[in-house]
Structure 1
Amino acid sequence: MATDELAGVQSEATTKRYPVAPGVQLNVRSGPGTGYPVIKVLPTGVSVPINCQCPGTTVSGPYGTSNIWDNIANGQYVADAYVRTGSDGYVAVRCG
């Protein structure tokens, strides 16, 4: 395996995952806000990686009210108010 391939595998394996609120089937949207289409729904009991975060539509959920949206994959965003990060602020780099 090439060194850069190894680095990709290593970073994927060590990416921190955050649990979605218990009992919640979370909408995944194509952008950071409720005006973006839902592209899939996460099942209950999952944890998500947070690649980066950005401001968007303000949403109220089990973990407060926030305008922070979490990028969990390329073109996939979830409202941070439904993800237990342990913080009311940013826990990852800003998307950009």
Structure 2
Amino acid sequence: SVLFYLISGNQDLYKKCDAIYDFKRHQIHLCLTEGSTDFSSGSTALIRLGFNLYNGYEDGETSPYHLFYRLDEPNRILAMSAINMRFSIY
């Protein structure tokens, strides 16, 4: 899944993957609304993108503007690669 591609491609998300996804139940955690884990704005943007590509998750900050505005260059490249993977764009 593209969600796991994003998690594995970002060191902060990889370290906190158990707060993002429940591997026993095979479902995402509500980590964006719970507030129990501290994510940077860039990590939060990648989580929103990952959730959106995983199951269509949307909130007031899942627009391309909101997501990409918060990403640095390496994470923008990661995000674009994830979108390309999800929609098989070559």
**TM tier, smaller:** under 0.3
Choose between structure 1 and 2: higher helix proportion.
2
Which structure is richer in relative contact order (CA contacts within 8 A, separation 6 or more)? 2
Q: Which is higher, the Rg of structure 1 or of structure 2? A: 1
TM-score where L is the length of structure 2: 0.26
